[in-house]
Structure 1
Amino acid sequence: MHLPPLDVAVYPVVTMNHGRYVSRSARASSAVSSVSSSSSVSSPTCAPTVNFSGIQRAIQSVFRSSKVTVQQAERLQGRLHQVYLAKVADGSIYVLKCPPHLSTRALRHEKHGLETSYKTLRYLRDYLQGQLPVPEVYQYKEHVGVLGSPYLLMTCVPGRKLSEMLPYLSPGERGSIDRTLGTYVQSISSLNAQRFGMTHNVFANKGSRSWREAFQRLLESALRDCEEMLVTLPYDSIRYYIERHLPALDQVQTPYMVAMDMCDPDNVLVDEQTKQITGLVGFSNVIWGDPLMNAGIANGSDAFFEGYGERPSGTGAPYARQLIYAIYRAIVQIASLYYRPRPRLSDNDARRSLTHAVNTLATL
């Protein structure tokens, strides 16, 4: 895949043996800077090191040629996983995604993110036949590879983050993007499996036989993440009201793919000229269960549901399930901010969403 070269003119460059390590400046926002995101984390206080020779060997092993030369390697900041861009001599750009640094605290559901990304992207490529603009996976090393850790090598998807483009989009352009997103979510929601739960368990045939059981495990994991950090939450009320409405989950009989972070504006890439979606990234948190759990459906616009095909019911068991999932998402968001604090961000919005969902569920 051939992409425009990295715009290094605005980056401070440190010369290294057999190539260059390019460190992104705070003001640079390249079109390829959004290639593989996960939950954001605060930037380290010192410049990260880049294993240039390891990146070189990883790419050469894929193409089985020592003539493939990496010219630049760049570490992307502000992500849970360690993500690198590598530009080779022919102008192609690749992405290497490695596990979080040992000093980075991960939530329970994040600990299999690399494996989940790999299996999900391969599954989407196999079953949707290019219907979604997702990265192509070249290699996955589950154990320690040439980089000294597991890694995932894939193509770089061009585009700029939707979160960065939002101020410059007209209502019509935003509606077109939402409509396309709805179509993509509908496509993913049509894929099903034999068991419920997190992707690494489902693909190992260790998932749950019921959605109720699988969701309870997810919820308890999130609550324990908060409890271990001594986060103040109405734990008893959350467990009580969700327990009271658990029968609503029994209506979900088929496990469908739910890409939890797919519609996050940081994970949707847009062409700056055409204002159309060019790529989707961020598949490290994928669950097999109820499509209503997708945050895109929870916050979808009219245009989104035009693409999706239907709007969820605002009454009865489907509405109860939406409230239960809103509680779960809020808990995860709160936990992530305690584990990895981010400057100028608070958990106020997540707490308001949690309070509203719990109180509304209590009235049903």
Structure 2
Amino acid sequence: MHLPPLDVAVYPVVTMGHGRHGGRKSRAQSSISSTSSSSSASSSQSIQPDFSSIQKVIRNVFRSSKIQVQQIERLRGRIHQVYLSRLADGSSLVLKCPPDNDTRLLRHEKYGLETERTTLETLREYTQLPVPQVIKYDNRGDALGSAFLMMSHVPGRRLSELSPYLSVNERRTIDYTLGAYIRTLTSLSATQFGLTHRVFAGKGSSSWREAFIALLESVLRDAEDMLVTLPYDTIRYYIQQHISCLDEVTEPRLVALHACELDNVMIDVQTKQVTGLVGFSSVVWGDPLLSGGVADGSEAFFEGLGENPVKTGGVKARMLMYATYRSLLEVTAHHYRPRHDMDDLQGRRALTHALNELGQV
């Protein structure tokens, strides 16, 4: 399916948190379909939201002074500040705000909210995928004073929370569903390659080769800025050696890099079925092989996808190039936002393996 040019003017968005919609709802709330986000609290070091400001924003959005916020909770987020607001009528809202001021961002991450907003609007319009619905409004003069996302609520718990308790058949069903969802995502096409905010502004690349090199150089420069020890010359050499294989990709497809990560898949606790997908701040238009889930997909995943492109002849070099890119992102992000409970050894091992394999292709 080919998408027409989209308007990418920036405006704020709102997200419904998980939690059930119960009791009586306002007309504005009733028109919102459900979206999702986990209710896991963040660490005690997280900055606490301003209760009155968030309640004021919600009232402004729905144009009702009668809406009562009973509780606000900071959720775990990859980069952005995410707040779960529980309302008096039993429903919930999730506000996704810009990162804390002291959060270091990689170059491509600076457009995360805009990317997610545009991607969700596109998916809601052109597919039936269970993703949050963006709520548009004018935030001028609101209590938060900056653009943010507001979306509808997707019920369920994160797959990361339930994964240890799933049976083999339950996990197989989930993987099959995710494969089918990725097939739908990658069926959408655009007229240019590259980062979403550039493509929708008509400033994308005419070839996947050009777009991918731009993506790779962006993260390499991020790493160089932080003086991260990496084999820069080796990486650039092997990528250049195999760059021509990227010309096999002639049509830009929607690629959600984190679509199948365990924290972004919502599961119904009772039925163990997928209730929705969240986390679309890292989306590019390019090769479907770069999509989340493809590199480590199970047999059931590829059954849902309809094929196993990894086993198709001629794609090994591309897969290794994408493995190089993903591992670079992992290592570099760790140096920008180090965590005491995690190191970059796994990313470095993956990078070394990918480079060694590229050297033998």
- Residue 145 (structure 1) shift: 4.3
Unmatched segments (≥5 aa) in structure 1? 7-31
**C-alpha distance in 2 between matches for 1:304 and 1:288:** 21
Residue 277 of structure 2 corresponds to residue 273 of structure 1? no
Contact 2:37 2:278 in 1 (8 A): no
Tell me the C-alpha RMSD between the 2 structures. Answer: 2.4
Q: CA contact under 8 A between 2:37 and 2:266: conserved in structure 1?
A: no
Q: How far apart, in 1, do the equivalents of 2:329 and 2:210 lie?
A: 18
Please tell me whether residue 178 in structure 1 is matched to residue 175 in structure 2: yes
From 232, 236, 245, give the equivalent of 1:235.
Answer: 232
Task: Give the letter for the 2:91 counterpart.
Answer: S
Matches within 5 A, 1:287-306: 287-306=284-303
Rounded Cα–Cα distance in structure 1 between residues aligned with 2:162 and 2:52 = 35
Question: Where in structure 2 are the equivalents of 1:60-71 lying within 5 Å?
Answer: 60-71=59-70
For 1:162, give the aligned amino acid: L
Q: 1:142 Cα shift?
A: 8.0
1:188 is the counterpart of 2:194 = no
Instruction: Check conservation: 2:310, 2:319, Cα contact below 8 A.
Output: no
Alignment of 1:106-185 (within 5 A): 106-128=105-127, 131-139=128-136, 145-185=142-182
User: CA deviation digits over 1:49-82, x for unaligned, max 9?
Assistant: 3122222222222222222222222221454101
Aligned with 1:328 (options 325, 328, 350): 325
Unpaired stretches in structure 2, ≥5 consecutive residues: 1-15, 23-35
- Structure with greater strand percent: 1
Alignment of 1:34 with 2:38, yes or no, is yes
Residue 93 (structure 1) aligns with? 92
Question: 1:182 aligns to what SS in structure 2?
Answer: helix
Shift of 1:134: 0.8
Mapped contact 2:321–2:354 kept (Cα < 8 A): yes
Does structure 1 residue 209 correspond to structure 2 residue 244?
no
Residue 342 of structure 1 and its aligned partner are, at CA, apart by: 1.4
Partner of 1:13: none
Aligned residues: 333
Q: Supply the distance in 2 between the matched residues of 1:44 and 1:235 (Cα, whole angstroms).
A: 38
Distance apart, 1:139 and its partner CA = 2.7
Seen in structure 2, the aligned counterparts of structure 1 residues 124 and 315 have a Cα distance that, compared at 3 Å, is closer
In the alignment, the residues of structure 1 paired with residue 275 and residue 138 of structure 2 have an alpha-carbon distance, to the nearest angstrom, of 27
Deviations 1:250-293 (A, max 9, x none): 11111100010011111111112111111211100000000000
Q: Aligned residues: percent identity?
A: 58
State whether residues 35 and 281 of structure 1, in contact with CA within 8 Å, keep that contact through their aligned partners in structure 2.
Answer: no
After the TM superposition, which of the residue ranges 132-141 and 209-218 deviates more from structure 2?
132-141
Q: Distance in 1 between matches of 2:82 and 2:252?
A: 30
* Partner deviation per Cα, 1:116-167 (whole Å, 9 max, x = no partner): 1100001000000xx2111111136688843122111112222111112111
Conserved? CA contact 1:145–1:151, under 8 Å: no
Residue 317 of structure 1: aligned partner: 314
2:286 corresponds to which letter in structure 1? G
> Contact 1:115–1:142 (CA<8 Å) still a contact in 2?
no
Task: Tell me the residue number matched to 1:53.
Answer: 52
Question: CA-to-partner distance for each residue in 1:69-123, whole Å, 9 max, x for gaps?
Answer: 2222222145410111112222111111110011010111111000111000010
Is the 1:140–1:152 contact (alpha carbons within 8 Å) kept by the matching residues of 2?
no
Shift of the 174–154 alpha-carbon distance from structure 1 to 2, 3 Å rule, reads: same
Amino acid at match of 1:254: E
Q: Secondary structure at the match of 1:205?
A: coil
* Residue of structure 2 equivalent to 1:83: 82
Q: CA separation of 1:144/1:250 partners in 2, compared to 1, >3 Å: closer, same or farther?
A: farther
CA 1:248–1:83 in structure 2 vs 1: closer, same or farther (change >3 Å)? same
Give the secondary-structure state (helix, strand or coil) at the position aligned to 2:359.
Answer: helix
Match in the other structure for 1:362: 359
Asked whether the 8 Å contact 1:93–1:156 carries over to 2, the reply is yes
Q: Which residue of 2 aligns with 1:4?
A: 20
Q: Show the counterpart of 1:352.
A: 349
Distance in 2 (alpha carbons) for counterparts of 1:262 and 1:34: 15
TM-score (ref. length: structure 1) = 0.86
Look up the equivalent residue of 1:325 and give its one-letter code: Y
Residue pair 1:35, 1:158 contacting (<8 A) in 2 also: no
Counterpart in 2 of 1:104? 103
Structure 1 residues 277-323: Cα deviation after superposition (integer angstroms, max 9, x where no partner): 11211100000000000130111000000000000144653211111
Deviation at 1:43? 4.7
Greater alpha carbon shift after TM alignment, 67-76 vs 196-205: 67-76
Distance in 2 separating the partners of 1:351 and 1:142: 42
Q: Say if 1:136 and 1:84 are closer, same or farther in 2 by CA, change over 3 A.
A: same
Q: Which amino acid aligns with 1:179?
A: Y
Structure 2: which amino acid aligns with 1:322? Answer: M
Higher relative contact order at CA 8 Å, sep ≥6: structure 1 or structure 2?
2
SS in 2 for 1:111: helix
TM-score, length-normalised on structure 2? 0.87
Q: 1:82 to 1:36 in 2, by over 3 A?
A: farther
What displacement does 1:44 show?
6.6
Do the aligned partners of 1:144 and 1:150 also contact (CA within 8 Å) in 2? no
